[in-house]
A and B are shown apart, each in its own frame.
Chain A
């Protein structure tokens, strides 16, 4: 492998430099039918799961086929998407906000040929390369973060939990039989990079052990004031320790103050957090983003901890499935999961979803906690107590 220069000169980084040019202009990538009809669309209709027709005032039609994607995509896979886009869509293609790919065609015939082609493409183990669905009252793709593929603070894997969940929920992806759309999101630590906190169901990685402190190396590798400043709960203090007969500068962690966020590890590689037994999954439920009928809502913690079970996370997926099934059986048309839980009451939600209620689920984090306790005698009795 010989280094090939792009033209960049490290001795003179500013030479010939181009900066601040932003992204390419989106209009370069609009298919002609969109250029022509932008802002003049009349209505859309889901003609079957995964296929939406958009009809413009001009009478033009656009058929969009929605296929699921792993957010992690290889160049080879994207080249296959390009080949399909060239074959059926004049080279145009778009991604959705939830890691799906939309192929846009201008006729129903092309669209149906495209569909057959897409479903025929499988990976060596039999998985669809391009599963079609995710429209309407369904479970669409799971937005997620990096997990063990790339991040330093995850408490679980992202791609794997998503794959395991989508396999179990595949039937809901391909159909539109839920009372309303159901959005699942995944974030691998409490930083919640993906902002999963407003999803019908959120899968969240969570640590339960404070960081280890590698006293021997800490002062060599880390700037102690930065590690201290990184901690959101001020749990880290400077200290001196005896090590190998020497006094070393290091830090101590006030463990009961730690909220397991991993910020210290970001600043200081001598404070790793990951732990086999400590790490696992939190499930949250009942959030939403849309303003439809009522205001957006945060998701609530409904299962405080499920251990990591690689590679399939079967307890987690079974718990999610129980929630989805209970919701699907009991909710009214148009009712999102959170609406349903509020209508029947959270005490009933736990009963119907067969979830154990534990003290961990009562909020004790700062000011907002009080507003989540019950300040009325109006409650429902549940069978379980």
Chain B
């Protein structure tokens, strides 16, 4: 029996109930470290898991955190990838007195093979706490808790033995992430994994070294369902879409109507919602009223469709996204701090996503970065800069043509800040010439 130093009655309560228990899991790791059947020469405190449980119990006891921030940023020459952490009760919990995390750049789509996972686990068991986050909210693999001297050692082994780099934090490009896209999802309008990988590699310098006024995020969603939430949390989101017709298999439509196929791929199977009613559930819910069904043929008036995915989600075996695919680019999403949350704003309605993605890099990403690096205030996200200097300014620096797709509605005030060169004759006028026709 492995001993636990700390009594943890409060968090022990979280070892009951059906959902998987992180407390049981941390205990399991403690047992494994103490029993050490493989005879590992641990390079980080062997009792750290027990001490982590102890700190957590203390927090549960009085409702306050026991961590302090540390500015350690990482390994030599990198501006991100490590979050420094110190416990504010180091004598009580020596195993976690220093407990820095490392962000490891995840493989796109979060696909793994066990031989690679094994290398990562062996490394982290030896040189860290044996605890991870799979994955951090940005997408990285998080190695949770090690000491300062181990940071370089972990990095050295990662790069030399596992051919694997860290991810980003701080005022860097944050680790880009993507939905599973074409690898498993038939809705994907472009190869999210390849695009995400390519952008990650292209901008390694920006990812590892501070380049910007604040963080910057790319996220890649294969279709407007937005499974990685690009539209809500990335400074530039690339969301798959298409320009031609939704492909319709009329036989399959009939099969849905006839009840042979389950609507929404079976997503509603747990309740009796009655017989599938195509009129009510598809035609009636189409936000643009661009669909019709005459009892035998489904028609979609393509120019009116806004590609919201509803009909496709309901009848995936009958309807497929078009073939002329690409992505929409939205800019400026961010969490609420400080001026309120922002969704991404549509800045490029459609662009082809084709290797090597030069058009996107040169016409979208880089001009925007140049503008933000020049004009952005300290800790101002791109979305806030767009608000402060205006959408017009964004169009100016990117040379994008203004199109009505960019807005929900036109402005309801006429206070246009005309520029001098937009007005015939400019602003320099001669008062004497004016006075010839108007008395004082």
Contacts and interface: CB of A to CB of B under 8 A. Distances in A.
Name which of B16, B63, B180, B314 has the most chain A CB atoms within 10 A of its CB: B63
B393 interface: no
B432 interface: no
Contact of B60 (A79, A97, A311): A311
Interface in A1-60: 1-8, 10, 13-14, 16-30, 34, 38-39, 41-49, 52, 54
A127 B109 contact: no
Interface in A303-325: 308, 310-312
A128 B117 contact: no
B204 interface: yes
A112 interface: no
Contacts of A130: 20
B42 A1 contact: yes
A197 interface: yes
Contacts of B322: none
B285 A293 contact: yes
B64 A94 contact: no
Most A C-beta atoms less than 10 A away, residue of B121, B134, B285? B134
B17 A127 contact: yes
A374 to B, nearest CB: 18
B29 A289 contact: no
Contacts of A77: 25, 28-29
A66 to B, nearest CB: 12
Contacts of B179: 97
Interface stretch (A152-160, A249-257, A347-355, A376-384): A152-160
- Which of A8, A99, A150 has most chain B Cβ within 10 Å? A150
A167 B18 contact: yes
Contacts of B265: 43-46, 52, 136
B65 A6 contact: no
Contacts of B440: none
A62 B185 CA distance: 11
A154 B124 CA distance: 26
Nearest to B125: A75
Contacts of B316: 43-45
B78 A19 contact: yes
B225 A293 contact: no
B310 A293 contact: yes
A296 B308 contact: no
Interface string B30-63: 0010000000011100100100100110011111
B14 A160 contact: yes
B281 A149 contact: no
Contacts of A137: 264, 267-268, 270-271
B224 A291 contact: yes
B160 A79 contact: no
Contacts, number: 434
Given A3-B149, A143-B137, A26 B20 contact: no
A181 interface: yes
Given A153-B65, A195-B229, A86 B114 contact: yes
B146 interface: no
Given A23-B107, A69-B134, A131-B20, A149 B52 contact: yes
Contacts of A311: 10-11, 13-14, 60
Q: Among B26, B133, B197, find the residue whose CB has the most chain A CB atoms closer than 10 A.
A: B133
B21 interface: yes
Contact of A164 (B14, B108, B130, B186): B14
A153 B61 CA distance: 17
B152 A333 contact: no
B295 interface: no
A82 interface: yes
- Chain A's interface size range is 35 or more
A148 interface: yes
B257 interface: no
Interface in B186-240: 186, 188, 191, 193, 197, 200-201, 204-205, 207-208, 224-229, 231-233, 239
A45 B268 CA distance: 11
B182 A279 contact: no
Nearest to A68: B20
B353 to A, nearest CB: 12
B67 A30 contact: no
A75 B135 contact: no
Interface in B260-308: 262, 264-271, 273, 281, 285, 287, 307-308
A123 B153 contact: no
B15 A3 contact: no
Contact of A192 (B204, B310, B337): B337
A137 B66 CA distance: 38
A131 to B, nearest CB: 6
A368 B421 CA distance: 33
A25 to B, nearest CB: 7
Contacts of B186: 41-44, 54
Given A1-B42, A97-B179, A148-B65, A159 B22 contact: yes
Given A28-B116, A334-B285, A94 B180 contact: yes
Contacts of B378: 229
Contacts of A28: 107, 113, 116
Interface in A256-278: 261, 265-266, 269, 274-276
A30 B21 contact: no
A73 B120 CA distance: 13
Nearest to A147: B65
Nearest to B224: A291
User: Which of A131, A269, A279, A310 has the most chain B CB atoms inside 10 A of its CB?
Assistant: A310
A85 interface: yes
Interface string A81-99: 1100110000111111101
Contacts of A175: 270
A125 B46 contact: no
A39 B195 CA distance: 14
Contacts of A178: 270-271
B92 to A, nearest CB: 15
A62 B152 CA distance: 41
Contacts of A75: 29, 32, 121, 124-125, 130-132
Across the A-B interface, the 7 shortest Cβ-Cβ residue pairs: A136-B267, A125-B15, A167-B17, A177-B270, A74-B29, A176-B270, A274-B64
Given A20-B165, A22-B201, A75-B32, 19 more contacts: A8-B156, A13-B77, A17-B159, A22-B207, A43-B316, A71-B135, A72-B26, A75-B132, A123-B15, A125-B24, A136-B264, A136-B268, A152-B68, A163-B19, A195-B229, A197-B341, A274-B63, A290-B226, A310-B60
Interface of A: 1-8, 10, 13-14, 16-30, 34, 38-39, 41-49, 52, 54, 62, 64, 68-79, 81-82, 85-86, 91-97, 99, 101, 123-131, 135-138, 143-154, 156-157, 159-160, 163-164, 166-167, 170, 173, 175-178, 181, 190-195, 197-198, 229, 232, 261, 265-266, 269, 274-276, 279, 289-296, 298, 308, 310-312, 333-334, 365-368
26 contacts: A20-B205, A21-B165, A28-B107, A28-B113, A69-B20, A70-B25, A74-B49, A76-B29, A96-B110, A96-B180, A99-B134, A128-B18, A131-B18, A137-B268, A137-B270, A163-B19, A173-B19, A177-B271, A178-B271, A193-B335, A195-B233, A290-B309, A291-B226, A291-B239, A310-B10, A311-B11
